[in-house]
Structure 1
Amino acid sequence: MAANCPYLPLLLAIFTIINSASAQLPTTTTTPSPPPPPFVPSLPPPSPLPTPPPPPPSLSPSPPPLLTPLPPPPSLSTPPPPSVTPLAPPPHHFPSPPPPPPSRRAPARRSPRPQQLNNIIDALMGAGDFTNLEDIISAINPLSLPLSATIFIPQEDPLNVTPLYMDPFIFPYHIVPQRLSFSDLQLLRTNTRLPTLLPHKSILITNSSASNFTLDDSCITQPDVYSNNAVTVHGISAVLDYATYGDGLHKSSKPPAPQPEAITPAPRFAPGGPVTDSMSDAACLCSESPIVFFIVSAVLAFKIHGNPLAR
C-alpha cells in the first residue's frame, strides 16, 4: 500500500505537524458576522417633464405707433387773465334762540350759587320775615358785589316785594359798598348819607336813635341778620325810595314855597253909577288896555262937562 502511494507518508507527516501546531495555538471564538443587508435595487431618477414649446409667433400685423400731436405755435396775442375762482360764501350760522325767561314760581336751573349767598339766604329763611325774597337774593350776580357790602332787605310784604321785581334800580339802591354793622351805623349822625351801588343816589339817615334807627324813613327792624368779615345784612320795614331821598331833595329838606303877595284890586268906575270898591274875578279877566282906556276917557268927560241931562 505504501508502495502504491508514495506520498502517503508525506501527507501523514504534514497532517501530524498541522495537528500539533493547531494544538499549541490558543483557541479563539469566532463571532459570526451579521448577514449583509438585503439588496435593494436603486431606481433611476425621474426624468424631468418636457418643457412646452413656445407659442408660435402671431401672424396678425402690429398696430402702427401713435403719433404725438405737436404743441401749438406760440400766440403773439396777450394771454387771457387767469380765471379767479370765487370764494365760497361762509356758512350761515343761525342765531340760537334766546333762553326762556325764568319763572318766579318755577325758576330755571341756575349755576351753583356761592357759599356766601347761600349763607345769606339761610339766615333770611331762619329770621322768618324774608322767605319770599329767596329768588331776589339768588338773582344777585356775585361779580357785581363789592369786596365789602351792607345790604338792607325789606320785610316780607306784597308792597315791598313788588317794587323789587318791577324796578331794576331798587335793589342796587339797597346795597352800600362798605361793611357797616348796626353799631357802626349808630356812630353816624342824622342826615348823614350812605353811598349805594346806584350811581348818584345815596341813602339818608333820617333818625340815628338806637330804638328807632331809620333810613329814608324806613326803620331797621332786625339789625345784623347776617354778618361776617365782608358782608352785613339788616332787615328794614319798607323799601327804600331812591326817587324821594336818593338825590338829597327829599320832602323834609325842600325849602318852603314863597307865599304869593296880596294884590289890591284897583277901584272900578262905572259911567253914570257909583264907584265900587270890589272887583270880581270876571272883571279882572276883562281888563284889557283898550277897554280900560275907553272907560277912563268916558269918566273924565263926564266929570268935566257934567251931566247934560240935569240942565
Structure 2
Amino acid sequence: MGIRDGNRLPLTGPAPGPHELTVEADMAYSRTGEGMHRFTDPADGETYLYTQLFLDDARRVFAAFDQPDLKAHFDLTVTAPPHWTVLANGTTTHHGDGRWTAATTPLISPYLVAVAAGPWHTVRTDHRGLPFGIHCRRSLAPHLDADATELLSTTTALFDRYHEKFDEPYPFDSYDQAFVPEFNAGAMENPGLVTFRDSYVFRSAVTDAERCSRAVTIAHEMAHMWFGDLVTLTWWDDIWLNESFAEYMGYQTVAEATRWTHVWTDFAAGRKDWGYDADQRPTTHPLSRIHICSLKHKTVCWPQVRRTEYPMS
C-alpha cells in the first residue's frame, strides 16, 4: 500500500485476482455538514451525529472507492452512549451496552451510506408491512408531535402512489425520515434514512404554502429511492437528470396523492424560471445520453473496512 497523499491512499502493485483491503482509521467530526456532523443542542446539552456523504464526502468517514457506479453491500456496527438511538439505511438492532448493528444494505453507492445517532425523539408507524419513522432532536419533540399525523399520512400516501407508478417495489427494508440540526442542504435521499434540515419541523404557525413545499421535498426524496438509489448515475456529470427527475416526480406525485392539488401553480411560479435563467447562460448545453446502472444487475467488489472510530472530544 502506498503512502497517504492528501485524501487519497494509493494502492501500489496489487497482483491480478481478488483482494481484501483492511483499513483502520480515526476520523474527525465535522461542524460543516460534510462527512460525520456532530451537534450539541444548546437547549438541553444533548449531542447528535449524522452523516452527509453527497457528493464526494464518503472519504471523510471511511475508506472507499468513491464513485457512484461502484456499489457495495455495507455492514455497519455502531457503539454509542446507552441512551442513544442509532438509525441507518436499514433496520437497526440494539444488542445492549450501546452496541448497534444495521441490516446489511442492498448494493448502494458510497455516497448513500447513512447513519444518524443520538437521543432522538421518534414517532413510528407501520405501512405495507414496513416500519416508517420520523425523528428529531428531543428539544423539538412537541413540534414534531404536533405535525406527526400530517407528516406520516403525507409520506404513506406518496409511498402508495409511487408503487402505482413504478413496477419495481420499494427496494429497502424501512423508511425513516430524520430532521437533523445544522444540515447544509434541504434534504438528502439516503436509502431508507432520508435526512432533512430540521427547520421543516415547524415551531410556529406557517402558511399552507410552506406545508406544501415540505410535502414536495418529501416526495422529491422518495422519488430518489427508485431513481438515484435503486438506479444510479454512472458519474456526477449526470446529476442534473437525477435531480430534475426527482423534482418533476415530486410535484406530480404531490398533486396526485395529497390535498395540494394546486402544486403545479407553485412550480410555475417558483421553479420554472430557474430553467429559463440557466438556458440563457453561455454554459447551457444540449442534453446528453445517460448511462445508468441498477442495483439489481450491477455487481462490484469492495474493500472490507474493519473499523472507523470517532473520538468523543
The structure with more radius of gyration? 1
TM-score of the two chains, using structure 2 as the length reference: 0.22
